[in-house]
Copies of this chain bind each other. A is one copy, B any other.
Amino acid sequence: MTRVRIDLNISLDGFASTADQSPENPMGEDWGRLTEAYVATRTFQSRVLGNTNGAGTTGVDDAYAVAYFEVVGAEIMGAGMYGLHAFPDDPEWKGWWGDEPPFGCPVYVLTSTAPRPSIPMQGGTTFHFRAAAIEDVLAEATDAAGGQDVRVGGGVSTAREFLRAGLVDQLHVAIAPILLGRGDRLWDDLRGLELTHKVTTEVAESGTTHVTFAR
Contact = CB atoms under 8 A, between A and B. Distances in A.
Interface residues of A, number: 25
A79 B190 CA distance: 30
A207 B210 CA distance: 12
Interface string A171-199: 00000011111100001111111100001
Contact of A182 (B179, B191, B200, B202): B191
17 contacts: A12-B211, A13-B188, A14-B14, A177-B201, A177-B211, A178-B194, A179-B187, A179-B192, A179-B193, A181-B187, A181-B189, A181-B192, A201-B203, A201-B209, A202-B203, A203-B209, A209-B209
Number of copies: 2
A127 to B, nearest CB: 32
Interface of A: 12-14, 177-182, 187-194, 199-203, 207, 209, 211
A17 to B, nearest CB: 15
A137 to B, nearest CB: 25
Contacts of A200: 207
Contacts of A190: 13, 179, 181
Contacts of A12: 187, 211
